Structure 1
Amino acid sequence: MYKGVALSVLASVTFGVLYGYTEFLKPLDSEQTFAWRMLATLPFLTLFMWWSGELKLITELFKKVIQKPIYLLWLLISSVLCTSQLWLFLWGPINGRGLEVSLGYFLLPLVMVLIGCVLHKEKLSRWQLVAVILAALGVGHEIWRIGGVAWETVYVALAYPLYFYLRRLFQSDHLGGFWWDLFLILPVAFYLLSTSESLSLIAQYPHLIWAIVGLGFLSALGLGSYILASRFLPFVLFGLLSYLEPVLLAAASIALGEQVKPDEWLTYIPIWFAVLVLVVEGCLHLYKQQRLKQNLARNIEKAEARLNDQD
């Protein structure tokens, strides 16, 4: 379990570093940064999959396409859903919209809870109901403040749950599926680079070569750690640790010079409290599980002692 916790924290910290890493990629714009990220991440992801013995997942999906060509349509949809989020992740801080994007990541776990209730008929606990109410207050205030929630926030909060749900539905929810997400977007990446001054900028600023290599490495490291952590951890603890990421994204946005305006606090504070409520629920759940295990162990010891006394 300790290995899973370390991997999850490493993934969240890596994503937080990536949010501020865009400073090293200037003067590349968001489209150029996105294109280079796709090109640089794929080799590192392939090496990571080779190291973990998961290259076979790539060929498994290819065989599905050969057997059912219509499956390629799903892979294309998956690629658009995934890579558009990766583009937005970099576009936000570069264009001063980092807080709006990070707010989407704060709402994402709560939206996932609601989708679980609607699609999977799961029931909300009292803690989860309080969290949903708090988040609704924050969103309601944002709608009242500006007449609507920022599109960046809505897209992150809604498109990612759809992406995760469809990946599970079409059985591509593994690193092989993500590899195809990146591979199928490569033509777009090459087009963006061919119609920009990216190469001339790299010639003018040689440090960009190493910055792009670092971008690919960090992207592959963050995602690989995230996927592996999901295997080593119980679902509750894995979900609990995932809330570290939006906290770091908001911190990175503020570190980059963005500020929460006075009339925005009533949007962010209820949502942050909603996240805190879920964290408290997760801690209490883990505490109760630990107590149950301890009580069970004591009862087993007492039963064994009684059997020994009878002998």
Structure 2
Amino acid sequence: MFKGVALSVLASVTFGVLYFFSKLLGDLDSQQTFGWRIISTLPFLTLFMLFSGDFVHVKTIYKRMIEKPILLLLLVITSSLTCFQLWLFLWGPMNGRGLQVSLGYFLLPLVLVLAGSIFYKEKLSKFQMVAVAFAALGVGHELWRLGSIAWETMSVAVGYSLYFLIRKKIGTDNLGGFWWDILICIPLAIYFTQTGFNAYGQFMDSPSLVLVVVGLGFLSAIGLGSYILASRYLPMILFGLLSYLEPVLLALASLALGESIAKEEWLTYIPIWCAVGVLVIEGTIHLYKQKQRKKNLQLNIEKFNQH
């Protein structure tokens, strides 16, 4: 379990560091940054999967595509969804919208809870009902304040949920499926690297930018790979709890980069943070009860052996 916890924390910290990376990208705009991130991530992701043994999933999905070509069309859809999220992840802090993006990551688990209830008929626990109520209060305040909720927030919360649901439905919810999503997006990524002023000349003017782009790909592969591997080694509840570390770090990174929460926005953020807190409490109680059950079972086995 320690290995899973370490991988999950490594993933969250890596994603937080990536927020700060936006300040090292010189004059690259968000489209160019996205393009170079996709291109530089693929080789490191491939190495990571070869090392972890996950590359077998790439081959399995390829065989499925040969048997059912319709799968390629579905992969184009999931590729579009994930690549948009990867673009938005760096676009946010580069354009002073990091807090809105991080709020989307806070809302994401709650949207997934609702999606599970609607699409998979999963029953909400009392804690989850309270959490959803808190989240609804925060979203409701934002709707009352602005007439809408930030598109960045909704794009993360709803877009990622749709992405996860589709991947689960078509059986590509593993690192191999993500590898295909990145590969399919490479032509678009190459196009984006050529946009903007002095697209390639910037690397001549600032050779260190090459190292920054390589670091961008390396960190992306480590973060995403560690996140997927952590889901293998951890109970789902604990994995879910640790995943809340990421939006906390993203929010802190946004504040460190100079963003701020306006006075009228606190009634949006606080209820959503409370919703996350309720889910953390529920998960902690569940883990405690699970530990107690294992402890009692062990005691009963020892008593039985003594008799």
TM-score, normalization by structure 1:
0.96
Residue pair 2:33, 2:193 contacting (<8 A) in 1 also: no
Moved over 4 A (4+): none
Aligned-pair RMSD on alpha carbons? 0.9
Q: Using the alignment, how far apart are the partners of 2:61 and 2:21 within structure 1?
A: 33
1:100-119 alpha-carbon deviations (Å, 9 max, x no partner): 11110000000000011111
Does 2:150 align with 1:157?
A: no
Unpaired runs of at least 5, structure 2 = none
Aligned twin of 2:208: 207
Task: State yes or no: 1:139 paired with 2:170.
Answer: no
TM-score, with normalisation over the residues of structure 2? 0.98
User: After superposition, what is the alpha-carbon deviation per residue over 1:247-295, rounded to whole angstroms, capped at 9, x for unaligned?
Assistant: 0111111010000000000000011111111111111111111111111
Alpha-carbon separation, structure 2, partners of 1:61 and 1:299: 46
Residue number in structure 1 paired with 2:53: 53
Aligned to 2:296: 295
Matched, 1:105 2:142: no
Asked if structure 1 preserves the Cα contact closer than 8 Å seen for 2:130 and 2:275, the reply is yes
Q: Which residue of 1 aligns with 2:15?
A: 15
Please name the residue that 2:280 is paired with: 279
* CA displacement at 1:91 relative to structure 2: 0.5
Tell me how far apart the structure 1 counterparts of residues 2 and 55 of structure 2 sit (CA, whole Å): 26
Per-residue Cα deviation, 1:58-99 (whole angstroms, up to 9, x for no partner)? 222122222111111001001001100000001000011111
> How does 1:6-45 map onto structure 2 within 5 Å?
6-45=6-45
Counterparts of 2:52 and 2:220, CA distance in 1: 17
Counterpart of 1:198 in 2: which secondary structure?
coil
Query: Using the alignment, how far apart are the partners of 2:18 and 2:199 within structure 1?
Result: 20
Deviates more, 1:115-124 or 1:37-46: 115-124
Task: Specify the alignment match of 1:219 in structure 2.
Answer: 220
**Counterpart AA for 1:285:** H
Give the length in aligned residue pairs.
306
SS of corresponding position for 1:172: coil
Q: Once the 2 structures are TM-superposed, how far is the Cα of residue 195 of structure 1 from its aligned partner?
A: 3.2
Greater alpha carbon shift after TM alignment, 103-112 vs 199-208: 199-208
**Are the equivalent residues in 1 in contact too, given 2:15–2:223 (CA < 8 A)?**
yes
1:26: how far off? 2.0
Q: 1:174 deviation in Å?
A: 1.1
Take 2:195 and 2:20, find their aligned partners in 1: how far apart are those partners? 26
Q: Deviations over 1:197-247 (max 9, x none)?
A: 221111112221110010000000001100110000001100110011110
Aligned residue for 2:200, secondary structure, equals helix
Q: Does 1:252 align with 2:242?
A: no
Indicate the percent of aligned positions where both proteins have the same amino acid: 62
CA shift digits 1:12-43 (9 cap, x unpaired):
11111111211111211110100000000000
Deviations 1:104-157 (A, max 9, x none): 000000000001111111111111111110011000011111110011111110
Mapped to 2, the partners of 1:61 and 1:266 lie a distance apart of 45
Aligned partner letter, 2:165: Y
State which structure, 1 or 2, has the greater radius of gyration over its C-alpha atoms: 1
- Residue identity in the other structure for 1:297: Q
Structure 1 residue 194: deviation in Å?
Answer: 2.4
Aligned equivalents of 1:130 and 1:35: distance in 2? 41
- Provide the C-alpha distance between the structure 2 equivalents of 1:239 and 1:151, rounded to a whole number of angstroms: 25
Amino acid at match of 2:67: Q
Structure 1 CA distance for aligned equivalents of residues 179 and 81 of structure 2: 14
Report the counterpart of residue 65 of structure 1 in structure 2.
Answer: 65
